[in-house]
Chain A
Amino acid sequence: MVTQATKGYIEIDQERCKGCSFCIEYCPKKAIFLTDKLNLKGYFVATYKEGNGCTGCAICAIVCPEVAIEVYRGGTA
């Protein structure tokens, strides 16, 4: 199995997420997905999936209206 080195990763605060899909649309690595999980506010929330080659570019954080995303980059995980 070929494992891809991870350059970055993100954490999504799902209680802030409102499922707008902006991060999913703009992630260049398509590493974010909408789930069928509801948060306390009643929104379907986004989730980050490891192994899709996240580079920590932070585009998801730039577009996230809820400031729900933290981005980490560099070194090894």
Chain B
Amino acid sequence: MKKVYSRPKSLKPAHFHYCPGCGHSIVNRLIAEVIDEMNLGDKIICVAPAGCGMLIYNYFDVDCLESAHGRGAAVATGIKRVRPDNLVVSYQGDGDLAAIGTAESFHAANRGENITIIFVNNGVYGMTGGQMAPTTILDQVTTTTPVGRISEKAGHPVRMCEVLAVLDGTSYLERVAVHKPAAIVATKKALVKAFQHQMNKTGFSMVEILSPCPTNWKMDPLQACKWVEDVMSKQFPIGLVKEVQC
């Protein structure tokens, strides 16, 4: 018999620290598969966030830099400007990208920086214990919205792909998910496309990934996937939001 699936080469042997059923794990594996298949090992430079994704440098066998919370797009901008031939990828959560890092994300997108953001949207601040994020949906219970998010007090969930789509600097924005097999396959394709956009210097690319956080959603892993399908993806529609010619 032939081995048809085994661990990607650019994923180190380390065991993931993520909780059972966490979407970060699947996203990490997909990135490593794409690095292998596109032969990007010597070309890619990853920027790690503050958040549950902060240890990606322990997993990817490629060059990685840690950024301060929210500053991924600014750090990636700096790297890309001095090393324009490298593929520069910033990995960020929703608190990181869309709360503390709003300014950096927005203006890097507006400048059309030739970088790629992998944006893991799990609707909460995962690492710090499940506080409300800008992406928390209305009525969602978190530690800081104990009766559910109320728009009069806490505003509305932010759809980052749609927000950035109006900026002329953005070239590829797609929302995908990792809660079921077909969605996982589509996520991998979106990562490939985003990297191709950066290689073709079309501008700022971002893949937003709806990602279960069973621990902070207080669900078991399968319930969390069902919640992505039934509830979260209604607020954050899955699909291509913007693409300019590549």
Contact = CB atoms under 8 A, between A and B. Distances in A.
| A, B co-complexed | yes
A77 B1 contact: yes
Contact of B1 (A9, A61, A67): A9
A65 B181 contact: no
B2 A72 contact: yes
A70 B5 contact: yes
B2 A66 contact: no
Contacts of B225: 22
Interface size class of B (residues with CB under 8 A): 20 to 34
A65 B22 CA distance: 7
Given A22-B21, A59-B181, A66-B15, A72 B222 contact: no
A59 B26 CA distance: 13
B3 interface: yes
B118 interface: no
Contact of A72 (B4, B8, B22): B4
Given A62-B184, A65-B16, A75 B1 contact: yes
B211 to A, nearest CB: 11
Given A65-B16, A67-B11, A21 B1 contact: no
B4 A20 contact: no
Most chain B beta-carbon neighbours within 10 Å: one of A9, A65, A75, A77: A65
Interface string A32-52: 000000000101000000000
B21 A26 contact: no
Contacts of A77: 1
A73 B25 CA distance: 25
B185 interface: yes
A74 B1 contact: yes
Contacts of B15: 15-16, 41, 66
A8 B1 contact: yes
A15 B15 CA distance: 9
Contacts of A66: 15-16, 25
Interface string B1-21: 111111110010001101111
A12 interface: no
B221 interface: yes
Contacts of B185: 62
Contacts of B18: 65
B3 to A, nearest CB: 6
B16 A73 contact: no
Contact of A65 (B3, B5, B7, B20): B20
B1 A22 contact: no
9 contacts: A9-B1, A16-B15, A20-B221, A26-B180, A65-B22, A69-B5, A71-B4, A74-B4, A77-B1
Interface of B: 1-8, 11, 15-16, 18-23, 25-26, 29, 180-181, 184-185, 220-222, 225
